[in-house]
Amino acid sequence: MDDSSSAVKAQPGPASPATPDVVVPITRRTFVEANETTIFGGGFIVLLLVLWEVLPHVVTLSAGTKLFFATPLQIAATLYNLFVSGEIWPALEFSGLTFAIGLAASIAFALPAGVALGRSNLLNAMFDPFITAFNATPRLVFLPLVLIWFGIGMWSVVLIVFMGALFPLLINTYEGVRNADKLLINVVRSFGANEWEINKLVVLPNALPYIVAGLRLAIGRAILGVVVAEFFGGSTNGVGVIMVNAAGKYQVDVVFAGLIIFMVLSLIMTSGVKAIEIRLTRWRPAKVKTF
């Protein structure tokens, strides 16, 4: 039997065309997705203001409540008059200056002290009981002593602000330093780094989120210190003094105007801290939504 006749010869078929590479287009974010925080955050604030404004027209308020009630438009008009007349500027300058000095002093003291306590077990054992005790004590308790020692004026308010802002930043810095990666510290030390280089290259970058969180808390405590000191006779000038005098005359719109000034100051400072955090943490991986 002939092998050539029995063999089945494979007939070459037409070559299948090569499958082209599939290009997946990059999905662009919509306007709402790109501005989600601004839209929903700002929209919620606007909604609250609108509800606040229409509340007296929808709900029947008692005569006493109407006397002590102020709408957002009334408060805006009061704010405008305070700034145009110039009445608020000296008080705002005083409150802003005491806030800035007290907060700056607390930052200058808390950051190196937090790093030192976090890196030294001996210093931590010596000062931790005092820090815990002072942090747990309301700052208002120290106000009479501060007024006796320093008198009524700017420096009494500065000291109250300093005491209020110090401990949140100090404790958060300490916790951030203590949570630094020990293995990475040993690796850097093995390459001959000294203590300053270890702090700069490892400890402080690791503690940065803790420091930022402490700074945001410190800003709130500093503003609270200004309000408390001015409310309870720490000074004869300031936005808090205007609010106290207005409360005694039942001028609710002026009280709300002072409250808004402190809120805006807090928002500006917190936004500045967020901007600094973004600038200093560019090396961190970007957050990606998983849903």
pLDDT value at position 236? Answer: 79
Structure tokens at 17: 């065309």
Question: What is the DSSP secondary structure assignment for residue 179, as one 8-state letter?
Answer: T
The helix-helix angle for 88-119 and 252-280 (nearest 10°) equals 40
pLDDT at 154: 86
What average pLDDT does the chain have?
A: 80
pTM for the complete prediction?
0.76
pLDDT at 145 over 60: yes
Confidence at residue 153, expressed as pLDDT on a 0 to 100 scale = 82
Matching residue, tokens 């030192």 = 116
Q: In this predicted structure, which of 30-34, 112-116, 197-201, 285-289 has the lowest mean pLDDT? A: 285-289
pLDDT of 9: 47
* Between residues 220 and 140, the one the model is more confident about: 220
pLDDT range class, residue 138, cuts 50, 70, 90: confident
Residue that wins the pLDDT comparison between 184 and 157 = 157
Choose the most confident range, by mean pLDDT, from 16-30, 116-130, 179-193, 194-208. Answer: 116-130
Q: What is the mean pLDDT of residues 37-47?
A: 81
- Burial class of residue 270 in the structure, from the number of CB atoms within 10 Å of its CB (0-12 exposed, 13-18 middle, 19+ buried): middle
CB atoms < 10 A from the CB of 29, how many?
A: 9
> Residue 10 above 70 pLDDT?
no
pLDDT score recorded for residue 109? 93
Above 50 in pLDDT, residue 289?
no
Q: Is 6 helix (H, G, I), strand (E, B) or coil?
A: helix
Residue 181 · residue 125 · CB < 8 Å: no
Residue located via tokens 């078929």:
13
* pLDDT for the residue numbered 14: 52
Q: Do 186 and 176 contact (CB within 8 A), yes or no?
A: no
pLDDT tens figures, 252-282: 889 999 899 988 888 888 888 888 777 766 6
The answer to whether 258 and 239 have CB atoms below 8 angstroms apart is yes
User: Measured between alpha carbons, how far is 254 from 214 in angstroms, rounded to an integer?
Assistant: 31
Q: How many residues does the chain have?
A: 291
156 pLDDT higher than 60: yes
pLDDT at res. 19? 52
Question: How many Cα atoms are found within 13 Å in the side-chain-facing hemisphere of 77?
Answer: 7
pLDDT range class, residue 291, cuts 50, 70, 90 = very low
Q: How confident is the model at residue 105 (pLDDT cuts 50, 70, 90)?
A: very high
Q: How far is CA 61 from the centre of its chain?
A: 37
Are the C-beta atoms of residues 100 and 154 closer than 8 Å to each other? no
CB atoms within 10 A of CB 109: 15
User: In CATH, what number does 86-280 get?
Assistant: 1.10.3720.10
| 189-231: pLDDT as tens digits | 777 777 777 777 778 888 888 888 889 889 988 998 888 888 8
Q: Residue 78 in contact with residue 87, Cβ under 8 Å?
A: no
Provide CB contacts within 8 A for 114, sequence distance 6+: 169, 170, 171, 172, 173, 174, 176, 177, 211
Local confidence band at 107 (pLDDT 50, 70, 90 cut-offs): very high
- Phi-psi bin for 153: left (phi > 0), alpha (psi -120 to 50), beta? left
Please give the backbone phi and psi of residue 242, each rounded to the nearest 5 degrees, phi first.
Answer: -60, -40
| pLDDT score, position 170 | 92
Look at residue 104 in the predicted model and tell me its pLDDT.
93
* 13-27, 35-49, 219-233 — most confident range: 219-233
Q: Which residues contact 218 (CB under 8 A, 6 or more apart)?
A: 103, 106, 107, 110, 164, 165, 166, 168, 169
**What is the percentage of the chain residues whose pLDDT exceeds 90?**
9
User: So where are the chain's domains?
Assistant: 86-280
